[in-house]
A and B are shown apart, each in its own frame.
Chain A
Amino acid sequence: MAVLSTNAAPVAPRGQTALALVALAVALTLLHYAGLLPAWLTRVPEALVPPFAPWLDAAFTFIRTDLGLEKLTRWIAEGPLQFALDTTANLLYGKRRWPNLGPIPWSAIAGSAAVLGYALGGWRLALLAGGTFVWTALIGQWKIAMETMSVLVVAAPLAFVIGLGLGIAAWANDRVDRAIKPILSILQTLPFFTYLLPAVIFFKVGPTAGAVATIVYAVPPMILMTTLGLKKVSPAVIEAGQMSGCTRWQMLRHVYIPAARTEILVGVNQVIMLCLAMVVLTAFIGMPGLGAKLLAMMGSFKIGRSFEIGITIVLLAVTLDRLSKAWVVRVPEHHPRGTPWWRRNKYLLIGLGVFVGFTLLGQAVDWFSEIGRRQSWSRGKEIDAAIKAFLALGPVQSVTDQIRYVFNVWILIPFRDFLLSIPTPAFILLFAAAALALADQRVAIWAAVFFGIVALTGWWDRAVITLYSVISAVILASLIGLPIAVWASFTDRRANRILLACDTAQTFPSFVYLIPAIMLFGITATSVVMSILIFAMVPLVRYTVEGLRDVPPEMIEAAEMSGATRMQKLWKVQLPMALPTMAIGFNQAIMFAFFMVIIAAFIGTQDLGQELQRTLAGADLGKNLVLGICVSLMALSFNMVLTTWADRKKAALGL
């Protein structure tokens, strides 16, 4: 570090303070090991823990009943929201509700999706979109997939509208912007389970709560993309609008929003992807659909079926992602004057034709409207048997067992026990010291405060276990991911392939990352770390490759002309230049890890996630929130340190 820092002078006092903090922490820890540290300095004593949960409960009860918010939310849940969900449920899988038309034959949906794919991106996209739905039908998962989709098609548009509205408000009004920003950063680090319980309590159990939690989770990126897009509209376009005599409303409607189209559509893409990921996760509050089925199958270790459902989810995700991205880059087509309307709207007409055609065909031939369990091509049992046989093979089993053993006994458990053995104040001091060394004093103080709050909640041990999973997974992910990224960055071809793979992997809903981990390592602590590891590795690899590839070519040429070898180029030029970008990837990896560690509680952990998941069964809102906030505060601390560090490095490098 000292070698790299260009401004050594101001770093020194910060470094010294940090060292002093570390020394203090080490001293405390050693005292504790020697048995000399009083108990109240090791952990916050039970008696001093403030009753946060009851307080929050009281606050919530106040908002719910005294302020009457519950009446409003219940009305929404039982009125418009329920109505919308029932309607889509009827159309997509034939729930007996208004308009009583459904279910739409699978072939009609698959056909229309293919036409849409073709209109947006040609044959490949048509094949992907049509193929996904055909696969879903053939494999016998049509109904559960449509259960998931019925919530998605309600949640995503609502999240879009709300996000767009709030984004415009934040852009137009500084005060709104300032009020929204901190809320957004907390919302984005709160574990998803913390959304679920309030949603259930305010919006009653079932699809409505799932839809609400999903919407709340998907709104923040839409807000951010909207404000970003609106702020980026070029001054000349704005002035041209003003000089054309636009009123405020006309400016927004005809100038700003169309000019920010790209960012807004990227927001739409993110909304769709997040909604899909979250709808799947609502399985944890008992929502039927792909997620619930996957949860059930994994719970009973039916790997084959889990695998098939995983493929369906992944295919749906990739299809939705590619379709919406194709829409982002689509440019309006210009028709010469006098083109007849049917030609201008040919895709719409073909799509309608295909839809109607298959619907009629479905009336005549049952197979085109519904594929029964008997006819489905599911090979769950066979895959199960195959996978189990493969895993039972001598060499395979010995390898996985070996990994599991080494991991558990040599790495994970000792590391966890070590972290747990550090007294709370020493732990906080260490983190603050790291924050001080990497970021600045302000961040260090905030981080200390945040961790102090976590300590005061009385959930310290579980918080440390959460942290241990996150840290070990991210370290392991770096050990595996960084070499891959560096290797990939050597040639364009490799880099593009790896980036494409990362892009695709990032569209997978988080839940499916559990499947390979459980497949290989069963229901063990190793699986937990493995699933986090795979999930967190994606952004790490991606940003590293991007950082290394984005080094200005002049610099590399200059290094080459100075006679640098490939390794020298990498170490002396590319890596230092890529460091800020890599830090962003590292930060994202940690955020992803915090997200995943809570979901991995499903496998069985002893951390905050486990407790959180338990609260979902009851109505323990206060405890649920306290736990969620603990996770959020820890994630925020990491986030602050890493982003500040990356910003400083970027400024120092003049980027």
Chain B
Amino acid sequence: MMSQAPVIACKNVWKLFGKDPEGYYARMPEGHGYDQIRADGYIAGVKDVSISVGRGEMLVIMGLSGSGKSTLVRCFSRLHDITGGTIEVEGQDIMSLSEKDLITLRRNKMGMVFQSFGLLPHRTVLDNVAFPLEMRGQDRHTRRDRAMEVIRLVGLEGREDYFPRELSGGQQQRVGIARSLAIEPDIWFLDEPFSALDPLIRREMQDEFLRLQAMLGKTIVFITHDFDEALRLADRIAIMKDGAVEQCDTPDQIVLNPATEYVRKFTEDIDKSRVVHASVLARADAHGEGAPVPARATIHDLAATLVSDQRDMIPVADGDRPLGALSRQEALRVLVGA
């Protein structure tokens, strides 16, 4: 998945809020913690984050409210200017971009969906969706055609002449999604897009989103504070606390091998068996007898087999390709959550 150069690469990124962040950053002692910074009157929105996002990857950022998720993503799109470190988007240092280049980058490469939708209240659905195209200076007909295309894509056909106030929350967020897709962005940022929606609609929107993603295959940075949502969507999950990324890894690794105590606590209540896949437990050097289990199955999917099977080592295969074998004991431990 990460075969090519990363789409977004950030190194030691800092974002401080306060009176004179640059000055403070310059004289800040090495290894200053979040609370010490806070005592000095600054807030570390993002604290020494190094992370990269590969092409076509879906990175989910998680963390409690106030942990810096939104701030980090706003640094990626330079809605915030970072205080220290570097962020490269497609190999370009975004802090060195002129205003004009930045606008070009946003007009052509980036789309963003907001938790509170951010729709322009005085524009119809169609005009909201066509807005980024209008800003690009596209003529009326082309932009209307394209807008209608994405409106159809998100399933809002027939509502294009409505105003945002006439739509439900879920429909409004569809407009937000359509707008962010109108310019066919390569990179798609979604800041808690579904948290303002009620659970049923949220589920429906997630399915919708997965369908879109399967169709479009974009590079995605997705923020959520809902673990189930993260697990459904993520290739990798980054867990943030106090502005810093505690761990960034696949969901399986996060629940199996939490890097810090915080991550362990954070993932404590998760049903690990639903997250961990057979492929992760499979050891390449081990052998097992009999019929293999599929690599993509979660331990939860295999529960019946694991309990009734008598083998110690069960082979795992991805289609026809053998991956090795997993230890039944280990798998059972995951199943009972020990």
Contact = CB atoms under 8 A, between A and B. Distances in A.
Interface of A: 234, 236-247, 250, 254-255, 258-259, 261, 331-332, 334-337
Contacts of B165: 331
Contacts of B122: 258-259, 261, 332
29 contacts: A234-B116, A234-B118, A236-B114, A236-B116, A236-B118, A237-B119, A238-B118, A239-B74, A239-B79, A240-B176, A240-B179, A243-B110, A244-B179, A245-B106, A245-B107, A245-B132, A245-B135, A245-B136, A247-B103, A255-B120, A259-B120, A259-B121, A261-B122, A331-B165, A332-B163, A334-B161, A334-B162, A334-B166, A337-B161
B162 A240 contact: no
B45 interface: no
A255 B163 CA distance: 16
A243 B190 CA distance: 12
A250 B121 contact: no
Name the prevailing secondary structure of the A interface residues: helix
Q: Which of A243, A250, A332 has the most CB of B within 10 A?
A: A243
B131 A254 contact: yes
B77 interface: yes
B135 A254 contact: yes
A237 B135 contact: no
Interface in B108-154: 110-112, 114-124, 131-132, 134-136
Contacts of B120: 237, 240-241, 254-255, 258-259
A254 B131 CA distance: 9
Interface in B36-89: 74, 77, 79
A260 to B, nearest CB: 10
Given A243-B111, A243-B112, A244-B179, A237 B103 contact: no
Nearest to A335: B161
Contacts of A238: 118
B305 interface: no
A337 B158 CA distance: 9
B163 A245 contact: no
Contacts of B131: 244, 254
Given A244-B135, A334-B161, 12 more contacts: A239-B118, A240-B114, A242-B79, A242-B106, A243-B77, A243-B111, A245-B104, A245-B106, A258-B120, A261-B122, A335-B161, A337-B161
Contacts of A242: 79, 106
A239 B161 contact: no
Given A254-B135, A259-B120, A261-B122, A243 B161 contact: no
Interface residues of B, number: 36
A416 to B, nearest CB: 53
Interface of B: 74, 77, 79, 103-104, 106-107, 110-112, 114-124, 131-132, 134-136, 160-163, 165-166, 176, 179-180, 183
B163 A331 contact: yes
B106 A244 contact: yes
B119 A240 contact: yes
A59 to B, nearest CB: 39
A334 B163 contact: yes
A484 B111 CA distance: 57
Contacts of B124: 334
B132 A244 contact: yes
Nearest to A238: B118
B149 to A, nearest CB: 16
A337 B116 contact: no
A324 to B, nearest CB: 18
Nearest to A337: B161
Contacts of B176: 240
Contacts of B77: 243
A331 B136 CA distance: 27
Nearest to B106: A245
A337 B160 contact: yes
Contacts of A246: 103, 135
Nearest to B180: A243
Contacts of A234: 116, 118
B104 to A, nearest CB: 7
Q: Which of B77, B122, B124, B160 has the most CB of A within 10 A?
A: B122
Contacts of A237: 118-120
B140 to A, nearest CB: 14
Contacts of A261: 122
A244 B120 CA distance: 12
Contacts of B121: 258-259
A234 to B, nearest CB: 7
Nearest to A237: B118
Contacts of B123: 258
Nearest to B133: A244
A254 B123 CA distance: 10
A243 B106 CA distance: 6
Contacts of A241: 120
Contacts of A255: 120
A247 B99 CA distance: 9
A46 to B, nearest CB: 53
Contacts of A254: 120, 131, 134-135
Contacts of A250: 135
Contacts of B112: 239-240, 243
Q: Which of A240, A334, A336 has the most CB of B within 10 A?
A: A240
A243 B182 CA distance: 12
B315 to A, nearest CB: 49
A602 B162 CA distance: 56
Given A245-B136, A250-B135, A335-B161, A240 B106 contact: no
A243 B80 CA distance: 12
